[in-house]
Structure 1
C-alpha cells in the first residue's frame, strides 16, 4: 500500500478506538507526530494499534510497566501526553 493510503488508514484506526479517552490519546499522538515518522516508526505504531487500548494507555501514563517491545523513543514521546487537547 502506498504511503498516503497507509497514513489515512492509521489515522482512522488511531481515532476510532472505542472510547473518547483512547481516541484522544492515540489519535492525538498520531496527529501531532506522524509527519516525521520513518517507515520503521510507522511499523511500530501500526503494530501498537493491535494492542488493547487500556494497555496502551496504561503504558503511556506509566501505571503499568511497558513491555520491552514497546519501550523506546516512540513510547517516550507518547508518554509526554502534551498532544492531548485539554479545554481550559
Structure 2
C-alpha cells in the first residue's frame, strides 16, 4: 500500500492481513498471513470479497482442504483458494520460516 490508493481499500486490506495472521491455529496464521502479505494488495475488490469469505471458514476445515485431507466444498473451491494452495506449495512448510 503506497498511499496513492483508496484509503478505504487500504484499511480493508490491513484488516484482512490482521485477521490472516491472528486466526488461532498457528499453521493457518502462517499460511494465510504469508499469502496475505504477498498478495492482497494485488487482488481485485471481488477477489478480496472471496478471500474474506474464505477466511471466515473455521481453521481446521480450511487447513484440511489446503492440505488435501478433505475435499474442498464447491462453494469454496475458488480461484483464490487455488492461489493460496499454490502459494503454500511453492513456499513450502511455512511454519518453518
The TM-score range, normalised by the shorter chain, is 0.7 to 0.9
The residue number in structure 2 matching 1:17 is 23
Q: How far apart, in 1, do the equivalents of 2:38 and 2:64 lie?
A: 20
SS of 2:69's partner is: coil
Please, what is the CA RMSD of the aligned residues? Answer: 1.7
CA distance in 2, matches of 1:85, 1:48: 20
The structure with the largest alpha-carbon Rg is 2
Runs of 4 or more above 6 Å deviation:
none
Structure 1 position 72, deviation (Å)? 2.5
- Segments of structure 2 that go 5 or more residues without pairing to the other structure are 1-6
Please list the CA deviations of residues 34-84 of structure 1 after superposition, one character each: whole Å capped at 9, or x if unmatched.
Answer: 121011110011111211011111111111100111113211111121343
Quote the Cα distance in structure 1 between the aligned partners of 2:37 and 2:95: 11
Match of 2:73 among 67, 71, 82: 67
Give the structure with the higher percent helix.
2
Contact 2:17 2:37 survives alignment (8 Å): yes
| Unmatched tracts of structure 1, length 5 or more | none
Q: TM-score, normalised by structure 2?
A: 0.79
1:5 aligns to 2:11 (yes or no): yes
CA distance in 1: counterparts of 2:72 and 2:13, whole angstroms: 25
